[in-house]
Structure 1
């Protein structure tokens, strides 16, 4: 049965010849069984298999567990990696969460396409209850997914036994004569998950014998609802002008749809989901502050920004700004974005001027900066230029300035210095500042 269930999950994930799978091997019965199942399926699917164990150092038996994992992999001739991490016992999020974060951070460094975990149906039921009791929304109540595709530089997650009860997995281990280790911390009721597993779910099961399967099925319903909300957010983003969002169109949505859009956008950009209270405050300010007024509201590790009728998310703690010398390339890094140099005929800065300059540097403003943005117009101070361009105070120190032999030739968000304007008949380069998340501003 387990082989058929796992095979369906691998097929659904598109696993085939050449795919690289890594089993997250704790040494417990669940991970030992999933390693055994993957080893049996490897010839059929043509994937390469390896295993990795994370040594947390939290148990006096941790060395023995690591050795047991290494021994099992040697027996199966499966490549094995050992990661040792240090977990802060006084972490504010709790020991369980800190250990999990360290474990996933280590496993994400494995050179593979998929990390495979031994989570099963009982784990899914526990996860749903745990998250509901913490007040999770629809996405949190969807609990774990059998297939989480790879994204960015992170391997995908596969849980091929998620539909199988713990009893079936343990029966497979006994029938196959597999050896596994027992983590003594799994019996400690101080941990919330253990309390649910040993105290709460057995009581529920006395009255509702199929509770585990029913809760797992409920998680599937929540997952469907979560996917529909994601589809709605994608549609709303498109209707609101894409990235960056057009504030006027965003404000035409209901609060629930704006909140859903911002949560979805946060996930796309790898930010943590904002708390309900912080998101509510952001919505209040978005509707209360005049559309022409710049706004920046921090929501945990990200900030919701409004400027010139556009809305975007960016890191709350922005990257440091480092002066960079331009040597003819197409772009230079700037904070969380880039400044691109687009070739245009008769526009921007004359290419010959840039090529002939002694020094071209992208940097921040300098004391005494003054620039003329139009022929016949007076030179203006940096402060005055920002005021005229309605650039908020929180953005000014981060504006990129292109210095050509010590003179400001262009300021992001303000424009080109008239003294450096490219003649109509000449080849030019137009600087374009693409801020965080691809928002564009000349």
Structure 2
């Protein structure tokens, strides 16, 4: 039993000083895993702890918490417990609600790795569960033995993933280990339990090697998902980065565009939308050739198209940023981008006027704002100027406005008011709004 666990730790690069937290439910799988990690911690010199999540769903939950606490005390393993409130009205049911609450609690652990007791039977059940729900390649990849840490998130270890449930239970009995039994695991009203107790046995009766075969299939899906991620990274780079060049994007076929957008969503920590919603977004992108301004809702994110560029942003628009004084800085942050101040001659704002001003600041537009861009043109409302410039409505609230002594002198994407414009040969400062930093 120690060999498979040590192999996964070696694959992950767990070494001296690494902090590994065993996620301890009290069931046989996590109890066996904790004992194996205890045997390895001194030789590999990693720091071991354990965490238990009290869901409050069973009358025995307090007893399970006490069992885990006492076990860790005997093994001299630092122990942390969490009590969570599980939503009873979760759209995907109580199982999904408990899982979300559990993972949210475990994410609070200050560690490098979270170690779970999932095994090969769990892998097969997870694959079937996801396939029955119509999962794609990534969903069918199920669980990986090693998930590397990323973006402040602890890595995941599943050292028992290559072992059958029966092997783990046999080892526990041979070593006289005690564990707890969650009575809900026998309740076939839960989909995963029904798969475990009814469907998998029926499949194994017809195909005796079904569970290992399903686990191998999950590994194949995992490899394929990795290749799709590589393709998405390459396509993003070819399309100019996170803010995509619309023309280059539309030269890809729909499957690659969808793969790229899904990958970008995962980088933002957001689940991909329904396949039908993404297909509709692609249809609208094709119809406009990424030339007409669009903002397409895709769940928590929106796909935005403006001036030939395509990007994803949060669907809920934040309010306009607070005003910021400008004191000669080369740039100021604004609405997820930057306002750069570039020195020049005969362009932009008059440097002399800026230096004489009592107050210079960047702020949001105010209702009724007007601007005159040239001496032979009338003052125009900002709304009309935005319409002429093709600036979509959702961007207008975020336009940066540079005010000199309270008077609008420049608007991002629109230009410089004539009264503040730099004369030919005069030293000037040209503000430039980089919409996405």
TM-score computed with the length of structure 2 as normaliser: 0.92
How far, CA to CA, are the matches of 2:136 and 2:124 in structure 1? 16
Q: How does 1:99-114 map to 2 (within 5 A)?
A: 99-114=98-113
How far, CA to CA, are the matches of 2:407 and 2:351 in structure 1? 16
Q: How does 1:218-233 map to 2 (within 5 A)?
A: 218-233=217-232
Cα deviation for residue 149 of structure 1 reads 1.4
Alignment correspondent of 2:390: 390
Gaps of 5+ in 2: none
Aligned partner of residue 402 in structure 1, secondary structure: strand
Aligned partner of residue 59 in structure 1, secondary structure: coil
Change (3 A) 1:430 1:333: closer
Alignment correspondent of 1:10: 9
Matching of residue 213 in structure 1 with residue 212 in structure 2: yes
Cα deviation for residue 394 of structure 1 reads 2.4
Q: Number of residues paired by the alignment?
A: 434
Cα deviation for residue 412 of structure 1 reads 3.1
How far, CA to CA, are the matches of 1:155 and 1:375 in structure 2? 60
Alignment correspondent of 1:268: 267
Change (3 A) 1:243 1:177: same
How far, CA to CA, are the matches of 1:375 and 1:7 in structure 2? 77
Are the equivalent residues in 1 in contact too, given 2:236–2:260 (CA < 8 A)? yes
Are the equivalent residues in 1 in contact too, given 2:350–2:426 (CA < 8 A)? no
Q: How does 1:416-431 map to 2 (within 5 A)?
A: 416-420=416-420, 428=429, 430-431=431-432
Q: How does 1:315-354 map to 2 (within 5 A)?
A: 315-326=314-325, 328=327, 334-335=334-335, 337-341=336-340, 344=343
Aligned partner of residue 311 in structure 1, secondary structure: strand
Change (3 A) 1:171 1:400: farther
Q: How does 1:1-400 map to 2 (within 5 A)?
A: 2-326=1-325, 328=327, 334-335=334-335, 337-341=336-340, 344=343, 357-373=357-373, 378-400=378-400
How far, CA to CA, are the matches of 1:404 and 1:32 in structure 2? 68
Change (3 A) 1:286 1:82: same
Are the equivalent residues in 2 in contact too, given 1:348–1:431 (CA < 8 A)? no
Aligned partner of residue 311 in structure 2, secondary structure: strand
Cα deviation for residue 24 of structure 1 reads 1.3
Post-superposition CA distance 1:138-194 (Å, at most 9, x none) = 111111111111221221111121111112221222233222111111111011000
Aligned partner of residue 234 in structure 1, secondary structure: helix
Alignment correspondent of 2:413: 413
How far, CA to CA, are the matches of 1:70 and 1:332 in structure 2? 52
Aligned partner of residue 410 in structure 1, secondary structure: strand
How far, CA to CA, are the matches of 1:175 and 1:375 in structure 2? 92
Post-superposition CA distance 1:107-130 (Å, at most 9, x none) = 111111111111111110001000
Cα deviation for residue 325 of structure 1 reads 2.9
Are the equivalent residues in 2 in contact too, given 1:326–1:332 (CA < 8 A)? no
Matching of residue 401 in structure 1 with residue 425 in structure 2: no
Alignment correspondent of 2:433: 432
Cα deviation for residue 353 of structure 1 reads 6.2
Are the equivalent residues in 1 in contact too, given 2:141–2:221 (CA < 8 A)? yes
TM-score computed with the length of structure 1 as normaliser: 0.91
How far, CA to CA, are the matches of 2:356 and 2:162 in structure 1? 67
Post-superposition CA distance 1:65-101 (Å, at most 9, x none) = 1111111111122211111111111211211111111
Cα deviation for residue 203 of structure 1 reads 0.8
Change (3 A) 1:338 1:288: closer
Are the equivalent residues in 1 in contact too, given 2:320–2:397 (CA < 8 A)? no
Aligned partner of residue 72 in structure 1, secondary structure: helix
Cα deviation for residue 64 of structure 1 reads 1.2
Larger Rg: 2
How far, CA to CA, are the matches of 2:43 and 2:372 in structure 1? 70
Cα RMSD after superposing both structures: 2.4
Are the equivalent residues in 2 in contact too, given 1:28–1:181 (CA < 8 A)? yes
